[in-house]
């Protein structure tokens, strides 16, 4: 239905999926898979089901293999037990009328030997990403990783494919490839972390190759309209040595041109968290999402710091098709209803973002409003 006042609340056709609205719940790692098998729990199913009025839910980043781990208590989707756990989640979301994609991730070198029985994690090159990993003993500095062999790269691509297959079995409606900074894919894209001299390093085409090999493998399992990808093209700080350089814009232009041929569910772009003035990507400062809109032929989802007002505005002006909200969904399970009725938003407790068990997780209340008020809108 058309909603000119709030285009965010319009129904949206995503391939053969009908989204109730354009409000997407962004992926949120919450560290609640507190069991040895990293299996999703009934509490997680309750939490996701509470948020099913979103047009689409994106699951927290989920490991595609035991080798892809780099953060504690994050669930995987590589064992049968994990698939069974995810079934609880997808069934609960569907029972409440929602849709949910699985976000498939691998942290590459941004991990720690504590996750691998003392063995080093692997990355595109043996270069320390100079960031931190959240281990069972707290945050620890990253180390110099091993360099992936080509056979390991091929195996990793197969791991994504198997995870995508598992996501289908678990009842997800689609998958999103997690290519935010901090993850494996950007480590291949950046010259700071990729100095390979084989088919996966050097030229823009070579550094971006892994994206398309992963996509092609996943497309053997899913229709392209159920597959998406999320990038943070210009993360400036808190992400170690991967920062924008002279090749950032050209490599993304290449990636976007190629992705435009795939007819994906959508491309999700995270905005800049900081001022880009004086950086190699300064040209994007006043032309960020519209730059990606112009360079990508397909559905665009935008993210970072959006509000009811700015989310409606960017859809209304035609720059975005979908808007994802991360932190607002933590303390507002009924975010969509709050937008519908112009209700204030609750603030989440940052202490329980990544830890805390039941506290600060599925216990945030819905806003109190009565039927009469709802009908008068
Ligand atoms: C607690 C927390 C966990 C997050 N975990 C993930 C994740 O697993 N995968 C991902 O792509 N982004 C993750 N993000 C980033 C969000 O998806 C989103 O991009 C970011 O919060 C900006 O959107 P917002 O301003 O609406 O919060 C996380 C953010 C927060 C606050």
Give the integer Cα–Cα distance in Å for 156 and 150: 10
Q: Which residues have CB under 8 Å from 141's CB, separation 6+?
A: 130, 131, 132
pLDDT of residue 373: 45
pLDDT of residue 193: 95
Average pLDDT over the chain, rounded to whole?
Answer: 95
Ligand 1 contacts CB of residue 180 (under 6 A): yes
Strands of the chain (E only): list them: 12-14, 17-19, 23-25, 56-63, 100-105, 122-123, 132-135, 138-141, 146-147, 174-179, 227-231, 266-270, 300-303, 322-325
> Is it the case that residue 1 has pLDDT exceeding 80?
no
Give the integer Cα–Cα distance in Å for 332 and 343: 11
29 domain-assigned: yes
List the single range of 18-27, 133-142, 188-197, 334-343 with lowest mean pLDDT: 133-142
List the single range of 49-63, 235-249, 276-290 with lowest mean pLDDT: 235-249
Mean pLDDT across 139-149:
95
pLDDT of residue 372: 37
Question: Hunting for tokens 């090999």 — which residue is that?
Answer: 213
256 domain-assigned: yes
Give the number of residues written for the chain. Answer: 377
2 domain-assigned: no
Cα→Cα distances 246→86, 204, 288, 356, Å = 41, 12, 16, 41
Closest-CA residue, ligand 1 atom 12, reads 27
292 domain-assigned: yes
Mean pLDDT across 168-197:
96
Closest-CA residue, ligand 1 atom 20, reads 326
Ligand 1 contacts CB of residue 106 (under 6 A): no
> Is it the case that residue 360 has pLDDT exceeding 70?
yes
- Rounded distance from Cα 263 to ligand 1 centre (Å): 25
110 domain-assigned: yes
Read off the CATH number of the domain in which 201 is found: 3.20.20.70
Atom of ligand 1 nearest to the CA of 61: 8
Tally of domains in the chain: 1
Closest-CA residue, ligand 1 atom 16, reads 326
Confidence tier at 239 by pLDDT (50, 70, 90): confident
Domain span including residue 113: 7-376
Mean pLDDT across 159-177:
98
Percent of the chain with pLDDT over 70: 96
pLDDT of residue 375: 41
Number of neighbours of residue 203 by Cβ within 10 angstroms: 11
> Is it the case that residue 376 has pLDDT exceeding 50?
no
Mean pLDDT across 125-150:
94
174 domain-assigned: yes
121 domain-assigned: yes
pLDDT of residue 235: 81
Atom of ligand 1 nearest to the CA of 26: 17
1 domain-assigned: no
pLDDT of residue 241: 87
Closest-CA residue, ligand 1 atom 18, reads 326
> Is it the case that residue 224 has pLDDT exceeding 70?
yes
Q: Which residues have CB under 8 Å from 215's CB, separation 6+?
A: 177, 227, 229, 262
Which one, of 179, 164, 317, 191, lies nearest residue 259 by Cα? Answer: 179
Percent of the chain with pLDDT over 90: 91
């Amino acid at each position: 239905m058309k909603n000119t006042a709030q285009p965010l609340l319009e129904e949206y056709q995503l391939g053969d999926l009908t989204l109730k609205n354009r409000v997407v719940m962004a992926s949120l790692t919450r560290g609640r898979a507190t069991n040895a098998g990293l299996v999703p729990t009934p509490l997680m199913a309750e939490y996701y089901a509470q948020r099913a009025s979103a047009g689409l839910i994106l699951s927290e980043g989920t490991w595609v293999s035991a080798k892809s781990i780099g953060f504690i208590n994050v669930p995987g989707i590589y064992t049968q037990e994990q698939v069974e756990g995810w079934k609880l989640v997808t069934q609960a979301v569907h029972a409440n009328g929602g849709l949910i994609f699985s976000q498939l991730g691998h942290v590459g070198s941004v991990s720690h030997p504590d996750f691998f029985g003392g063995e080093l994690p692997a990355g595109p090159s043996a270069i320390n990403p100079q960031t931190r990993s959240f281990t069972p003993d707290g945050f620890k500095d990253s180390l110099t990783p091993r360099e992936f062999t080509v056979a390991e790269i091929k195996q990793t691509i197969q791991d994504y494919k198997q995870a995508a297959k598992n996501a289908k079995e678990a009842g997800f409606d689609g998958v999103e490839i997690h290519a935010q900074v901090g993850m494996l894919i950007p480590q291949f894209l950046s010259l700071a972390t990729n100095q390979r001299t084989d088919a996966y390093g050097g030229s823009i085409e070579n550094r971006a190759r892994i994206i398309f090999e992963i996509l092609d493998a996943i497309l053997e399992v899913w229709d392209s309209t159920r597959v998406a990808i999320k990038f943070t093209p210009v993360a400036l700080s808190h992400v170690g040595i991967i920062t924008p350089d002279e090749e950032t814009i050209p490599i993304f232009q290449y990636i976007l041109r190629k992705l435009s041929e795939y007819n994906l569910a959508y491309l999700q772009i995270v905005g800049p968290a900081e001022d880009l003035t004086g950086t190699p990507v300064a040209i994007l400062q006043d032309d960020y999402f519209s730059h990606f809109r112009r360079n990508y032929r397909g559905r665009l989802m935008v993210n970072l710091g959006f509000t009811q007002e700015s989310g409606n505005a960017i859809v209304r002006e035609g720059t975005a098709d979908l808007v994802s909200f991360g932190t607002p969904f933590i303390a507002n399970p009924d975010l969509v209803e709050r937008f519908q009725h112009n209700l204030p938003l609750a603030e989440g407790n940052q202490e329980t973002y990544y830890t805390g068990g039941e506290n600060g997780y599925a216990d945030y209340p819905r806003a109190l409003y009565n039927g009469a008020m709802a009908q008068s809108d």
